[in-house]
Amino acid sequence: HSKTDIEELFNQAARFVEEDEQRISGRVLYVEDSSVVAHVMLKILERLGLEVDHYTSATDAYEAFGRHAYDLVISDILVEGEMSGMGLVSRIREKFPDKARVPILAVSGMDDITRRMELFRLGVNDFISKPVIEEEVVARVSNLISNKQLFDQVRAQRRHLYELAMIDQLTGLYNRNSLSEFAKKAFSEANRHDFPLSLILIDLDHFKEINDTHGHLTGDEVLASIGEMLKNNCRDEDFAVRFGGEELMLILPHCTHEDAVQRAEELRQAVETLKPSGIPMTASLGVTSRPHGREVSMEDLFRIADKAVYQAKEKGRNQVIA
């Protein structure tokens, strides 16, 4: 290669990198009733690599906002129709007060300071005045979208870390680490307001034999199926935790002893009919509840439930002792 070849190659590569940096991906909701302004803006946004849903009415845009996830809302402030651009901004902010989650860029022909302050109070992230200048649009739109996407990433990472720390990877139930905080809250609330609170302890029967007969991997599959069944049987306020190897625990806030006994019996039957990986399986369950008017800790209830499970085993397994 001659020197100019290499120079040309280098320049080309540099151009690609530059173009790459200027292109961003994302979906934008755009409201503008002037076709002249929209024409200019759409060109700029499309050159940036953005997917744009353009509406000429704020009402239609608001409907679209409810149907899709957008990385940015760009709204003209004066739009014809029953809803104004201001109306759209305030409706969106009512639902999503978090500016990092749903960024809004306002576009307006009236560039006075009072109007701008009003827009910021309504909750727009940024403002651009007409006639729009490409460089300014590119700069503001890129900033808003990259901040939003960074924020999304941080949230996803946080959720992932939380799951790794709190959720048992085999069963999808909470792990023992997460128990103390939940239990502290649930028990102190129940003690303070004298609310009912119940605890169910579940120990699978002859689980060692499953491992011995079918292998440890099948044993894991069985545990995973039972974990899933248990999760599906939970209300939002319940807390289902894998307490030990094949010992599971349910903490049931606002659940009376009577209801807890019934739920334990339903669970016993559910385990019996599940036949995870084709293997017949049963469980022994212990149920205990916070006595009316007395303060108890999770450890207090656990001790009693543990004894009940032991009795269920003694009496032949596959049963509930309360």
**Neighbouring-strand partners of residue 285:** 202, 320
Residue corresponding to tokens 């069963």: 171
CB–CB of 62/30 below 8 Å? no
Residue with nearest beta carbon to ligand GH3: 245
Q: Report the partner that residue 33 touches, choosing among Mg ion, ligand GH3, none (CB closer than 5 to 8 A by kind).
A: Mg ion
Smallest separation, CB 71 to Mg ion (Å):
23
Helix, strand, coil abundance in the chain, percent, nearest 5: 55, 15, 30
Collapsed DSSP state (helix, strand, coil) of residue 50: coil
Smallest separation, CB 270 to ligand GH3 (Å):
18
Question: Which of the 8 DSSP states describes residue 290?
Answer: P
Helix axes 257-274, 216-232, angle to 10 degrees: 140
Q: Report the partner that residue 58 touches, choosing among ligand GH3, Mg ion, none (CB closer than 5 to 8 A by kind).
A: none
Smallest separation, CB 244 to ligand GH3 (Å):
7
Pick between residue 84 and residue 319 the one whose CB is nearest to ligand GH3: 319
- Relative to beta strand 320-321, strand 283-289 is parallel
Contact footprint for ligand GH3 (CB under 6 A): 203-208, 211, 216, 219-220, 223, 245-246, 313, 317
Closest among 90, 170, 160 to 124, alpha carbons compared? 90
Assess 207 for contact with Mg ion (CB under 5 A). Answer: yes
Q: Report the partner that residue 76 touches, choosing among Mg ion, ligand GH3, none (CB closer than 5 to 8 A by kind).
A: Mg ion
Smallest separation, CB 181 to ligand GH3 (Å):
23
Cα 250 to Cα 35, 255, 295, distances in angstroms:
60, 11, 19
Residue 74 one-letter amino acid: I
Find the helix or strand (DSSP H, E) in which 315 lies: none
Collapsed DSSP state (helix, strand, coil) of residue 104: strand
Q: Report the partner that residue 221 touches, choosing among Mg ion, ligand GH3, none (CB closer than 5 to 8 A by kind).
A: none
Q: What is the size of the binding site for Mg ion (CB under 5 A)?
A: 8
Smallest separation, CB 307 to ligand GH3 (Å):
14
Pick between residue 186 and residue 202 the one whose CB is nearest to Mg ion: 202
Q: Which of 71, 126, 168, 203 binds Mg ion (CB under 5 A)?
A: 203
Pick between residue 242 and residue 263 the one whose CB is nearest to ligand GH3: 242
Binding residues (CB under 5 A) for Mg ion: these are 33, 76, 78-79, 203-204, 207, 247
